[in-house]
A = this chain, B = another copy of it.
Amino acid sequence: MNRLYHYPLSPFSRKVRLSMGEKKLEVELVEERYWEQDPEFLRRNPAGKVPVLKYGNRLLADSTAICEFLEEVQPSPALLPRHAEDRYEVRRLVAWFDDKFHGEVTSKLMGERVFRKVMGTGYPDSANVKAGARAIKEHLDYMESLLDQRRWLAGNEMSLADFAAAAQLSCLDYVSDVDWNRSSVVKDWYAKIKSRPAFRSILADQIPGFPPPSHYADLDF
């Protein structure tokens, strides 16, 4: 059986979980407190980050490299389109959410409010929290501008770009940091992706000391 070393509120772990779920690849989840840098875990991934996927007898690290690998070994259902220009757009947006959205929003809001407590690294920095709360508005507006022209974020088919975005937003939604009233098209997009079977395990996540709000797992939020 495949095994994924993950952390429930790691958006990069969630991106891989969604991708595997959509492809109906079974996986056993093993929670890894990666910031404790356990030597056994560092042996599995010298980068010291989750997710790490045990696939057959191989250990795979880096969520983007893992998702590209899964696409190649299990191409159906496809999460990357067929043509180079369309594949480019998916990859651009995956990087947008993994790097820019995560750096400007998720690391600032969830990083300060949840991870500091879980990791025991002190009190939240309110300047970071404010910057994150400002930045998420711009990002939701950018998503709206994309979804005004397309059914899904990178085109008319669901793709890895949608999973990269939903991975970040679902983590933030766990701590009630997404204002779903800001954009009805973004809310409709999230309702569509939230109702996929691949999303079920994510909606069942529970972090001790941080119970999710009731709307988190509600498909009619």
Selected from B62, B68, B85, the residue in CB contact (under 8 A) with A87 is B68
> Is the C-beta of A72 less than 8 angstroms from some C-beta in chain B?
yes
Q: How far is the CA of A72 from the CA of B68 in the complex (A)?
A: 14
Q: Which residue of B lies closest to A100 (CB)?
A: B47
Contact A69 B87 (CB under 8 A): yes
| CB within 8 Å of B: which A45-68 residues | 46-47, 58, 60-62, 64-66, 68
Question: Closest chain B residue to A95 by CB distance?
Answer: B62
Chain A interface, number of residues (Cβ within 8 angstroms): 24
CB of A142 closer than 8 Å to a CB of B: yes
Known contacts A64-B95, A65-B95, A95-B65; decide if A58 and B85 are in contact (CB<8 Å). yes
Which residues of A (119-170) have their CB < 8 Å from a CB of B? 142
Query: Is A200 an interface residue, CB under 8 A from the partner?
Result: no
CA distance in complex: A88, B65 (Å): 6
A68 to B88, CA, bound (A): 7
Report Cα–Cα, A85/B68, bound state, in Å.
10
Q: Could you tell me if A64 and B91 are in contact, using CB atoms closer than 8 angstroms?
A: yes
- Determine the main DSSP class of A at the interface with B: helix
* Inter-chain contacts of A94 with B (CB < 8 A): 65
Is the C-beta of A84 less than 8 angstroms from some C-beta in chain B? yes
Any B CB within 8 A of the CB of A96:
yes
The distance in angstroms between the C-alpha atoms of A88 and B84, with both chains bound, is 19
A204, CB-defined interface residue at 8 Å: no
Cα of A151 to Cα of B80 in the assembled complex, Å:
32
User: Is A92 close to B, CB under 8 A?
Assistant: yes
In the complex, whether A73 has a CB less than 8 A from a CB of chain B is yes
Q: Give chain A interface residues in 81-133, CB to chain B under 8 Å.
A: 84-85, 87-88, 91-92, 94-96, 100
Shortest Cβ distance from A47 into B: residue:
B100
By Cβ-Cβ distance, the 8 closest A-B pairs, closest first, are A65-B91, A72-B84, A69-B88, A62-B95, A65-B92, A62-B92, A73-B84, A65-B88
**15 pairs, CB–CB < 8 Å, chain A vs chain B:** A47-B100, A60-B92, A61-B92, A62-B92, A62-B96, A64-B64, A64-B95, A65-B88, A65-B94, A66-B88, A68-B88, A69-B87, A69-B88, A72-B87, A73-B84
